[in-house]
Structure 1
Amino acid sequence: MNIMYKRIKELASLNQVSIREIERCTGLPNGAVYYWKHGQASQKAIVAIADYFNVSADYLLGRIDKNER
């Protein structure tokens, strides 16, 4: 499983929000986050998700372990 997908799922659970709601609020197509389980997201999508959760893109990508900005 892709680290970014895993971290998005964790953040969604911590914030009690559905993946669909995240996609809707960030303007991503329905099913986009699930696709990233085995695929890659665009830079624009990564930034949108990072902004939504107020975390760094590096955290989402697994480059750092702390979810601070």
Structure 2
Amino acid sequence: MNSFRVRLKQLREEHNFTQQDLAEHLLISIRQYRRYEKGDYEPNIETLIKLANYFNVSLDYLLGRSEDKSRYPRDY
């Protein structure tokens, strides 16, 4: 999940949120949130979904599996 921690930090900084802001949104301690960004701890699926929804991005983007931020597949 190394890509996850990089994406998480990028999204947080793009939106001008602090680590404290996100910890409060997720209802976790700042220490726990910092572990996500450091890559020391991996969030559960419910937390990943909360983050993707909060930033309005797809889980694939959040996890580094896609460069497309859109939450829903496009019609081709």
Q: TM-score, normalised by structure 2?
A: 0.77
Alignment of structure 1 residues 1-69 onto 2, 5 Å? 2-36=2-36, 37-69=39-71
- Aligned positions, number: 69
Q: Structure 2: which 5+ residue stretches go unaligned?
A: 72-76
Superposition misfits of 4+ residues, deviation over 6 angstroms = none
Q: Structure 1: which 5+ residue stretches go unaligned?
A: none
Identical-residue share of aligned pairs (%): 26
**Pairwise CA RMSD:** 1.6
Q: In 2, Cα distance between the equivalents of 1:5 and 1:28?
A: 16
Larger Rg: 2
Aligned with 1:59: secondary structure?
Answer: helix
